[in-house]
Chains A and B, each alone.
Chain A
């Protein structure tokens, strides 16, 4: 059996069902809205980027990466969510700084009017 198949067969169907019905799973699923929203916003007009919220989310995601790693039981889904969010928000921060201050490159989404 492949390693992947043997990993999944290590747990009974009932244990998998308990996992997918637990807050340990659905809490992080709720949190995934944030990185997905950020990834969608990467293509949008950089005027829509809020520096306050982006900076706060960068700090928030870095602290919660450590939290997800050290909480008992370890929550790798939450860790992955905040890792993605940290990366996406850092990208947004770079786009914001480029568009408003450094002008290193021309942002392709910048020429479109706001809200289009």
Chain B
């Protein structure tokens, strides 16, 4: 058995023994859901919050060291996916919310870059 498979099954066993009994009653059905915390369909949007976190951490970076193409790409993908999450079946508010924040951080960084270049016209594109 590959190590990641063994690790996953260990985590599931620990979760079933330790986490499930202490869950409140309204959350118990969610534990074994097809899109629940034991599946990638839960963790994939959760990991996307790391992009938001990295974007917020990057607010401390000086504006001249930001990559315009990367932040434009983040703003574009965040806005398009936020819209799509509301028109697919089933509607996915969780994924929509994380994409809204991805768009906001990307757009904020783009504004910082634009502001820097407006105030420092010697910087070429």
Q: Interface readout for A13-46 with B: 1 if CB under 8 Å, 0 if not?
A: 0000000000100110011011011101100100
Number of contacts between A and B (CB, 8 Å)?
A: 91
Closest residue of chain A to B67, judged by CB? A48
Residues of B within 8 A of A27 (CB): 80-81, 84
- Decide if B44 touches A50 in the complex (CB within 8 Å): no
Considering only residues 13-57 of chain B, those with a C-beta below 8 Å from chain A are 40-41, 43-44, 47-48, 50-51, 53-55, 57
Q: How large is the interface on B (under 10, 10 to 19, 20 to 34, 35 or more residues)?
A: 20 to 34
- Decide if A26 touches B58 in the complex (CB within 8 Å): no
Main secondary structure of the interface of B (DSSP, over half): helix
Residues of B within 8 A of A64 (CB): 44, 47
Contact of B84 among A26, A53, A57, A115 (CB under 8 A): A26
A63 to B69, CA, bound (A): 23
- Decide if A23 touches B84 in the complex (CB within 8 Å): yes
The answer to the question of A103 belonging to the interface, with a C-beta cut-off of 8 Å to chain B, is no
Main secondary structure of the interface of A (DSSP, over half): helix
Closest residue of chain B to A31, judged by CB? B77
A41 and B67 in contact (CB under 8 A), knowing A36-B73, A115-B123?
yes
Residues of B within 8 A of A26 (CB): 80, 84
A57 to B80, CA, bound (A): 18
- Decide if B70 touches A53 in the complex (CB within 8 Å): yes
- Decide if B67 touches A59 in the complex (CB within 8 Å): no
Residues of A within 8 A of B (CB): 23, 26-27, 30-31, 33-34, 36-38, 40-41, 44, 47-50, 52-53, 55-57, 59-60, 63-64, 66-67, 70-71, 114-116
